[in-house]
Amino acid sequence: MVDVAARAGVSVKTVSRVVNNAPYVQPELAQRVLAAVAELGFRRNHLASSLRSGQATATIGLLIEEIANPFYATIAGAVAEVASDHDTMLLIASSEEDPAREQQLLRDLCARRVDGLLVVPAGEDHSFLQSEVDLGTPAVFLDRPAGELRADTVLLDNRGGARAGVRTLVEAGHRRVGILLDSTSVYTMRERLAGAREALAAAGAAIDDRLVRDGIRDPGTAARVVGELLDQPDPPTAFFSLNNRISLGAVEELHRRGSTAALLGFDDFDLARLLPYPFTVVAYDTRALARAAAELLFRRIAGDPSEPRSLLIPTDLVERGLPGR
């Protein structure tokens, strides 16, 4: 900038004004400066700029589990759009479900002085963020609630969606429902399970805990567990799979066996229509979830001082066939 100023025969401050499109610069001087900028290939150092001006790195941090996962990729895409509307760049970090790593990454994002944080939390305690939030780095949590920290939160209606879905199973006459999930250590799984329990309880159906199977991490395991449940005496007449990885394995096994069990899944699929076994899903709008969170964050960045808010994104039951009992 000093070089540009020298070349244009003006002060650095004038260069700064021109580069930032500030008013009150004579067109003639501005021309000279622009010419010098072009000749010298000058590019403003954004780091120095935001160091001096205090805030506004025009960057937000997004912390997710894993960017390659389509759910998080969809979130990242929607967030990127909102960020782009605010001329803001996106720093993306993947926690890989490791709370220690999550904490380190969040600290690092703060050290880079992002304007705000969008977090799909992995850990249970985010109190370490309190000082950052107090110091003016707003944080919005999405998909899962923050632990030990009062902050804005945007969640799916996991419980309500599961309840509505399982209610249709009950209404179709099913009482023995096999429930397949990965881990109760994940908030969304607990909520979905609770919703299922509520719907069954409302029908006066005692829940058979032997039909609830967790630890299912991949389609192969899901297929095996479905087989085991079907092979036991008094097998389930319906299944509720709590995410789409599990649904996939269930579809395969039910199709393979020519079963007539009903299948309900949480999470929609792009290709559900083409799969060889009909099933109904509890769908939701991932982009709406992410957009709501991002827009809330930018409102906070703009200075909205109101109390922390909790938003709930509704789910939608998409019926694609559900055999009765």
Residue whose CB is less far from a second copy, 2 or 206? 2
Residue 136 to residue 10: CA distance in whole angstroms: 37
Element (H, E) at 93: strand 89-94
DSSP string, 218-280: SHHHHHHHHHHHHHSSS--SEEEESSHHHHHHHHHHHHHHT---EEEEES--TTGGGSSS--E
103: partner contacted, choices a second copy, DNA, none (Cβ within 5-8 A by kind): none
Q: Tell me which residues in 158-177 interact with DNA (CB under 7 A).
A: none
53 binds, among a second copy, DNA, none (CB under 5 to 8 A by kind): DNA
Amino acid at 49: S
Selected range binding a second copy among 36-44, 187-195, 227-235, 311-319, rule: CB under 8 A: 36-44
First CA to last CA across the chain, in angstroms?
A: 77
Asked if 73 touches a second copy (CB under 8 A), the answer is yes
Please identify, using beta-carbon distances, which residue of 17 and 174 lies nearer to DNA: 17
Beta-strand relationship, 89-94 and 116-119: unpaired
- Our finding on whether 125 is near a second copy (CB under 8 A) is no
Site for DNA, residues 16 to 35, rule: CB under 7 A: 16-17, 19-20, 23-26, 28-29
Q: CB of 38: closest distance to DNA in angstroms? A: 15
How far does Cα 43 stand from its chain's mean position?
Answer: 35
Q: What share of residues in the chain are helix, strand, coil (percent, to 5)?
A: 45, 15, 35
3-state secondary structure of 12: helix
Phi and psi at residue 123, in whole multiples of 5°?
Answer: -85, 180
Q: Is 206 in the site for a second copy (CB under 8 A)?
A: no
Give the one entry of DNA, a second copy, none that residue 74 binds, where binding means its C-beta sits below a cut-off of 5 to 8 angstroms depending on kind.
Answer: a second copy
Give SS3 for 169. helix
**What is the nearest approach in angstroms of DNA to the Cβ of residue 17?**
7
Answer yes or no whether residue 103 interacts with a second copy by CB under 8 A: no
Amino acid code (one letter) for 289: L
Q: Is 2 in the site for a second copy (CB under 8 A)?
A: no
Q: Residue 210 interacts with a second copy (CB under 8 A)?
A: no
Q: What's at 8, amino acid-wise?
A: A
d(Cα 195, Cα 54) in Å, to the nearest integer? 47
What's the burial of 287, exposed, middle or buried (CB within 10 Å: 0-12/13-18/19+)?
middle
Residue 288 as a binder of a second copy (CB under 8 A): the answer is no
Considering only residues 54 to 73 of the shown chain, the ones binding DNA according to CB under 7 A are 54
Among 41, 52, 206, 271, the residue binding DNA under the rule CB under 7 A is 52
- Give which of a second copy, DNA, none residue 325 binds (C-beta under 5 to 8 Å, depending on kind): none
Rounded Cα distance, 9 and 105, in Å: 45
Q: How far apart are CB 95 and a second copy at their closest, in Å? A: 11
User: Which residues lie near a second copy (CB under 8 A)?
Assistant: 41, 43-48, 50-51, 57, 59, 66-70, 72-74, 76-78, 80, 84, 89-94, 107-113, 131-132, 135, 248, 251-252, 271, 274-276
User: Which residues lie near DNA (CB under 7 A)?
Assistant: 1-2, 9-14, 16-17, 19-20, 23-26, 28-29, 42-45, 48-49, 51-54
